[in-house]
């Protein structure tokens, strides 16, 4: 069985895609320690069974709200086989911020480029192939309300879960910040901590420079 996490900004069609993937094979509970709803479902595609977790709708992974903390902790701690990032094709600039954060976390991302019909009605032409090339991950055009692209999305999930090599894409922040990131990474790498080794060092360094309190508390135990 492969584990799949669905994530995306609010109102991008995440629930519709979750329902298409899992049908009646789903149940609802709460995340441990909070009252935020947790939806889990299952489906089988090409003989592969998937457990699909519907993460809360978030704009970022800064852990400044319970929803962001749940989403980030699940990806970092549970390490799902595939993270499906559902993106509104008509609002790429805002939606792709979360995509970049997921790539910084070195998640195994598949982008579901949803609401292609809305993008077209607003005069946008989105080149899914070029976007895939730029991001280094599969990008699947979808119109979830009509069920379009769902089978292709299932194919992409199974393929992503089973491929052995993944392309790592690093996005630069300019020379000054990149130099600071490298210096923090060097300090972290000397800690020898197995606990810290569970996280991408670059991601930890960026979070420390951002002043992320949870990451600061974690790192202070070992550095």
Q: Domains along the chain? A: 2-162 (3.40.50.300), 175-220 (no CATH)
Phi and psi torsions of 33, nearest 5°: 80, -5
Q: Which long-range contacts (CB under 8 A, 24 or more apart) does 21-25 make?
A: 21/50, 21/52, 21/150, 21/153, 21/154, 22/52
Q: Starting at the edge strand that comes first in sequence, how are the strands of the sheet with 109-114 ordered?
A: 26-30, 37-45, 48-54, 2-8, 82-88, 109-114, 139-141
Query: Which pLDDT score is estimated for 170?
Result: 64
Query: Which pLDDT score is estimated for 178?
Result: 93
Query: Which pLDDT score is estimated for 165?
Result: 67
Q: What is the pTM of this model?
A: 0.90
CB 117 within 8 A of CB 143: yes
For each of the chain's 223 residues, which pLDDT tens digit applies?
999 999 999 999 999 999 999 987 788 888 887 778 889 999 999 999 999 999 999 999 887 788 998 999 899 889 999 999 999 999 999 999 999 999 989 999 999 999 999 999 999 999 999 999 999 999 999 999 999 999 999 999 999 998 866 666 667 888 999 999 999 999 998 887 888 888 889 999 998 998 888 899 989 888 7
CB 34 within 8 A of CB 41: no
List beta partners, residue 26: 41
CA end-to-end distance (rounded Å), the chain: 37
Return the H-helix or E-strand segment holding 196.
Answer: none
Query: Which pLDDT score is estimated for 85?
Result: 98
Query: Which pLDDT score is estimated for 131?
Result: 95
């Amino acid at each position: 069985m492969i584990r799949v996490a669905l994530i995306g900004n609010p109102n991008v069609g995440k629930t519709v895609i979750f329902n298409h993937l899992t049908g009646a094979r789903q149940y609802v509970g709460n995340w441990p320690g909070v009252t935020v709803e947790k939806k889990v479902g299952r489906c089988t595609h090409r003989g592969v069974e998937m457990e699909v977790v519907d993460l809360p709708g978030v704009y970022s992974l800064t852990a400044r709200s319970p929803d962001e903390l749940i989403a980030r902790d699940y990806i970092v701690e549970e390490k799902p086989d595939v993270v499906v990032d559902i993106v509104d094709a008509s609002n790429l600039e805002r939606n792709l911020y979360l995509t970049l954060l997921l790539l910084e976390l070195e998640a195994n991302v598949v982008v579901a480029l949803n609401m292609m019909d809305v993008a077209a009605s607003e005069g946008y032409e989105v080149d899914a192939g070029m976007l895939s090339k730029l991001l280094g991950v599969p990008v699947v055009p979808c119109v979830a309300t009509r069920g379009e692209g769902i089978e292709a999305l299932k194919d992409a999930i199974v393929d992503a879960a089973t491929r052995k090599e993944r392309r790592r894409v690093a996005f630069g922040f300019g020379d000054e910040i990149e130099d600071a990131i490298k210096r923090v990474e060097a300090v972290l790498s000397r800690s020898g901590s197995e606990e810290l080794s569970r996280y991408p060092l670059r991601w930890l360094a960026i979070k420390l420079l951002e002043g992320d309190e949870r990451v600061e508390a974690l790192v202070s135990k070992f550095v």
